[in-house]
Structure 1
Amino acid sequence: MGSPTVLLAGCAALPRGDGDEDVLLAALADLGCTADWVVWGEPRAREADLVILRATWDYDSRRDEFLDWCESVPRLRNDAAVARWNTDKTYLLDMQARGVAIVPTVLAEPGEQVEWPDTEFVIKPTVGAGSRGAQRFPAGTTRHADEHLAALHARGTGALIQPYQSTVDRHGETAVVFIAGELSHTYVKGPLLVPGSWLDSSGLFATETLMPVEASPEVLRFADKALDVAADVLSMDRAEFLYARVDVVRSDAGEPLLLELELTEPSLGFAFGGRQAADRLAKAAREIALS
């Protein structure tokens, strides 16, 4: 059957990712794949049997160029249609319209003003990666919020305004990882938007505190529904998502809420899924590469 070539796509600042995929490269090699990294934008990706979007974390400043490159790669996962939908966070409103409970969200397109919540709140760009451009504001902080919103609008991006979910301070965000549509593993991410938080040395993503967690059946059912809804929005079978990460938080009343649905370039937390998770993804990738 030959040795399929599988490339993991990174970016110029992280051409070989952040280390999370080292175990995936080993798993692909053990299955007989020729596995390596490629910087997104490079034309040689078009010749690979499969390209997997992984650490493409600078796309937000060149989204049109990134999506054009995705369209040019014939064997890409997740594919260009998924990337086009998922790299604009207004996808959350699509999810809400189909019955998925999300963190309450107001969209402010460039030029639009909003009434600030009377509670602590977060402003984040509609196109952004690694929590860059996202800021948390105390209740009543209007001048700095106005300035931040204006700065995002000046970059040509809209913004989402969301009340900060205080439960994150106590319980974090639960990341539910699926591979080829099936539950793989879960872990928890501590609060990011806190005083003293900073970007890693690449400048591309905020450093995170990650811990293993056994997600509750309620959270798992919620994440499972979210993935089904995303597949319906995109007219896909959920198994066509090579990977997905559903980030779930709790409301003050304890109800699960969708914070993010990561289908383009999420960290998958192989440190918590281990070699079994890497093997699952490698097997699914090899099947696609040989198809």
Structure 2
Amino acid sequence: MRVVLASCAGLPEGDGDEESLLAALARDGVDVAWQPWGTPVEADLVVLRATWDYTERLDDFLAWCGTVPALANPLPVVRWNTDKSYLAELAARGVPVVPTAVVEPGAEPSFPDGEFVVKPAVGAGSRGAGRFTDHAAARAHLESLGVKALVQPYQSSVDEHGETALVFFAGEYSHSFHKGPMLAQGLAEAESGLYVEERLAGIEPSARQVELAEQVLDVAAELLSVPRTGLLYARVDVVEGPDGSPLLLELELTEPTLGFKFTTEAAASRFAKAIQEAASRA
């Protein structure tokens, strides 16, 4: 069995988070290798991992995904998930989502009171995201982006509690990790050029966070007309709302960091098993 982990030219072998996954696959006798996206690939399964420059060439990226015979997650999922407007679709289905307004290029935005976030609808690693109170500065940022964007009230709980990322493999909960606050006032700074450096650590989620994450996956699977097991990997990022209830910040189905560095080796083994089962079905 041959498995390819898709990366990008800037990080051809990822950022090191998948070392335990590579070891787990190798122990199981899987021929696994990294390969930057954009070139022909032959494998029983291609798993999107560190493809973090796709935001600059989304059409090329989606076209390449369409040439891959066995891709995880599959092209229809990737096409839907690479535009964060999906948050409005999930909210319309009753998912508790951080309030999200979608602003088309050239449209007049309506900014919320207090602090708020402006970020491109197609983006990865928090690049292009900004935290504002000044409407003029936020409008200038929107104009500089020149693309569809999202406007969301900033959840002040993030400053104290950060975000919780809940990771699922083949529709089943695996583990969680904590993400510290990243956005100071103004624009996020991408130290690597591909993503904003995050402060990460292992964490145990609350029962309400797990319940929300389960709801998110159920609704997303229904919207995409796929079984939950058809989502080889998923990361559900949640924050605490003003009343203390968890809210969905993002659902990552394309190329999320999965936090193997911040949990036990059992998580990598679970993902390795899910990859092999998906490859055998492809």
Tell me the TM-score normalized by structure 2: 0.97
The aligned counterpart of 2:145 is: 152
Deviations 1:157-203 (A, max 9, x none): 201000100000111101000011101001110011125963233x1
Moved more, 268-277 or 245-254: 268-277
Distance in structure 2 (CA, Å) of the matches to 1:192 and 1:179: 26
- Displacement of 1:144: 1.1
Mapped contact 2:128–2:188 kept (Cα < 8 A): no
The aligned counterpart of 2:46 is: 51
The reply on whether 1:235 has 2:232 as its aligned counterpart is no
Distance in structure 2 (CA, Å) of the matches to 1:34 and 1:200: 33
Distance in structure 2 (CA, Å) of the matches to 1:278 and 1:165: 32
The aligned counterpart of 2:157 is: 167
Aligned counterpart in structure 1 of residue 191 of structure 2, from 174, 196, 200: 200
Alignment of 1:125-144 (within 5 A): 125-138=120-133, 141-144=134-137
The aligned counterpart of 1:6 is: 3
Secondary structure of the structure 2 residue equivalent to 1:72: coil
Mapped contact 1:185–1:272 kept (Cα < 8 A): no
Mapped contact 1:184–1:273 kept (Cα < 8 A): no
Alignment of 1:1-291 (within 5 A): 4-43=1-40, 45=41, 47-138=42-133, 141-153=134-146, 157-194=147-184, 198-201=189-192, 203-291=193-281
Mapped contact 1:175–1:187 kept (Cα < 8 A): yes
Mapped contact 2:126–2:188 kept (Cα < 8 A): no
Mapped contact 1:197–1:207 kept (Cα < 8 A): no
Secondary structure of the structure 1 residue equivalent to 2:66: helix
Deviations 1:82-120 (A, max 9, x none): 100000000001101111011011111011011222210
Amino acid at match of 1:48: A
Identity %: 56
* Number of residue pairs the alignment of both structures matches: 280
Secondary structure of the structure 1 residue equivalent to 2:80: helix
5+ unaligned residues in a row in structure 1: which ranges?
none
Tell me the TM-score normalized by structure 1: 0.94
Distance in structure 2 (CA, Å) of the matches to 1:32 and 1:238: 27
5+ unaligned residues in a row in structure 2: which ranges?
none
